[in-house]
Amino acid sequence: MKKTLLICCAAVVLSLTACGIEAGQTANGSNQQQAMIQFKDFADRKLSFDKVPQNIVALSNGETDIIYALGGTLVGRPASTTPLATKAAEDVQQIGSAHEVDLEKIALLRADVVLGNNPMNTKDVPILEGAGTKVILTSANSISEIEKQIELFGKLLQKEERASELVQEIEEKLKQFETAADSVKPRALLVYGAPGTYMAALPNSLSGNILEMAGGTNIASDYPSLQSYPQYAQLNSERIVEANPQLILIMTHGNPDEVKKGFLKEMQTNPAWSSLEAVQQNKVEVLPADLFGSNPGTRIIESLEYLHEKLEALQQ
């Protein structure tokens, strides 16, 4: 596999080098072409393009959604266990994910640019750049970061006006929820995991940010973060019982029924959990994976609406 990848990368480098000389040469043979698109990514890396890239690869569903919402297209997208919001992306070549990138497939696609995660895909930058592919690193740990992604990709595609429209739509939705900012905010616990492994989502996670913006109170807001996953914390049964959440929401990439069943079973090992208002009122639910399992892109509006409705129902 490594040998094949090196051969593919070498072929791509030679091809791209030849094309670059041809495109950049002037009548007298000098290369004076200037970059028309310049910006810094979320890792503070400077990037420049002499034209709008045509062969774009996205490593997550959020970036896939944003590119198509801006009017662009992809040659490579992540494998997904949830339905894609954009039908046009369904037939696009799958290239693994941000967690497990298929570098050989990306090389064969002759990608101009790969949209990766900061810091998860930092390790993949050297080999991708060695194959002539530029890498843009972004992240989506808050609604604000998703808005910045939209603006950055708008520059990349030269679709700044459309990007501004999409960001404005998100801002207008947030303003709708600000009117209820002084009302009592329902207490909620956000749990991320799979059978046997569960973590509490903190405010610095995307789901935690959505919860607060939608009008809820995160009972785990002051839990100490995990070193390996700083957006999450270890579940603390005593503190959860003390806070008495009115709503427990579970996020997962796995089978939602199995995850909920496993979580309820784990709760039963501690009788104190049965006293929780969320348990007594049957308010333990699994969130839609396409809206909460990862970055939903421009569909963040749907994520906000979904959670806001759940919270409002508790106050009726």
How many other β-carbons are positioned within 10 Å of the β-carbon of residue 61? 27
Q: What is the pLDDT at residue 3?
A: 39
Q: Which residues of 113-132 are buried (b: 16+ CB within 10 A; e: fewer)?
A: bbbbbbebbeebbebbeebb
Q: Are 247 and 311 in contact (CB under 8 A)?
A: yes
Q: What is the pLDDT at residue 179?
A: 64
Token readout for 118 is: 């900061």
Q: Are 303 and 267 in contact (CB under 8 A)?
A: no
How many whole angstroms separate alpha carbon 173 and alpha carbon 278?
Answer: 27
How many whole angstroms separate alpha carbon 206 and alpha carbon 144?
Answer: 10
pLDDT digits (tens, 9 = 90+) for 170-200: 999 999 888 655 678 999 999 998 767 899 9
Domains delineated in the chain: 37-174 (3.40.50.1980), 181-314 (3.40.50.1980)
pLDDT digits (tens, 9 = 90+) for 237-287: 999 999 999 999 999 877 788 888 888 887 878 888 889 999 999 999 999
Does pTM surpass 0.85?
Answer: yes
Using 70 as the pLDDT threshold, list the residues of the chain that sit under it: 1-35, 179-182, 195
Q: What is the pLDDT at residue 261?
A: 85
Q: What is the pLDDT at residue 113?
A: 98
- Closest to 219 measured CA to CA, from 205, 198, 231, 203: 203
Q: Are 112 and 47 in contact (CB under 8 A)?
A: no
Burial of 213 (0-12, 13-18, 19+ CB in 10 A): buried
How many whole angstroms separate alpha carbon 203 and alpha carbon 97?
Answer: 25
How many whole angstroms separate alpha carbon 203 and alpha carbon 213?
Answer: 10
Q: Are 156 and 52 in contact (CB under 8 A)?
A: yes
CA angle 286, 66, 311 (to 5 degrees): 30
Please give, one letter per residue, the 3-state secondary structure of 4-61: HHHHHHHHHHHHHHHHHHHHHECCCCCECCCCCEEEECCCCCEEEECCCCCCEEECCH
- Closest to 235 measured CA to CA, from 219, 213, 258: 219
Task: Name the H helices within 179-271.
Answer: 206-213, 237-243, 256-268
Q: What is the pLDDT at residue 9?
A: 45
Token readout for 18 is: 């030849």
Q: Are 301 and 313 in contact (CB under 8 A)?
A: no
Q: What is the pLDDT at residue 23?
A: 41
The gap from C-alpha 249 to its chain's centroid, in whole angstroms, comes to 19
